[in-house]
Structure 1
Amino acid sequence: MNDLDDDALMAELRRIAAEVDPVPLSVVEAARAAIATRHLDHELAELVADSADAGSGLLFEAVRGPGVAESRLLTFDGGGVQVDVDLAPTGGGLRVIGQFTGPVTECAVERGDGGALELAVDELGRFVADDVSPGPLRLRYRSEIGQLVRTAWLVP
């Protein structure tokens, strides 16, 4: 027998096994759930404030001024660190400005397409990311004690 015959035989055996004894739906669902929870060791930062919530618009305009309503202010708390984030549309992208109130050792903006933009955090805990691609994003950071924290996905 050659390799081609072996491959054809294996394909036929897989087809027969799938027909006679298919994988139970509960096993497929459990596998999907396991993949979805692969980052359980990461803490999810709690959303403390969001300028998009009803009732916060008046304070937002009083602080930022009228006509800046496209910008969105968010505050998250997680890993012993609080972070304030300003999401502002710029041309075809998004500007992300933030400040941590607590020490962090790394920071990144993760995009929905799987990419990530590593950010420098200054000595006061501030960071800026310009021209972030439009679409879902979240913030990832590591607290000084080593806890990896992520925010929920945001759709600006």
Structure 2
Amino acid sequence: MDKINNTYFPDKKCCEEKQHTWYLIDAKNHKVGRIATEIARILTGKNKSIYTPYRNTKNHVIIINSKHVVMSSADEKIYFRNSRRPGGLKKESFNQLKLRLPNRIIEHAVKGMLPKNKLGRVLFNNFKVYSSNFHPHIAQTPIEYKLNEIE
């Protein structure tokens, strides 16, 4: 007796979108982890009905006001980077990095939630972060995405 595969795979016509979908998220006074999980969901395409794990759904995300993000354990969070040379390990706290490069906080969190393969690297390129209220992607007419903040 043959087993029938009941897994749904969208056909190629269904998944080919003519336009890319752009989302705009305001990160002001939102927690880093909550923002990052929503961004990773959108970039991987889990918010669409045609989600397939191995396919790029052509979603783009724009983050504004990244310098106003918050973290519940900001005093304890430490970011590490290493130049791979003797004595090249650098440590930086959340507050120091927020003053120096506020975009890197959200980028670091989102990159850790994306797949660790070629698709993850492509999806990360569809992600733009800006520390101010201005972004140069007005021509793409992004859809404003509301975050539900749970305290």
Q: TM-score range by the shorter chain?
A: under 0.3
User: TM-score when scaled to structure 2?
Assistant: 0.23
**Higher helix proportion:** 2
| Higher RCO by CA contacts (8 Å cutoff, separation 6 or greater) | 2
Whichever of the two has the greater Rg, that structure is: 1
Structure number having the greater strand percentage = 1
- TM-score, reference length from structure 1: 0.22
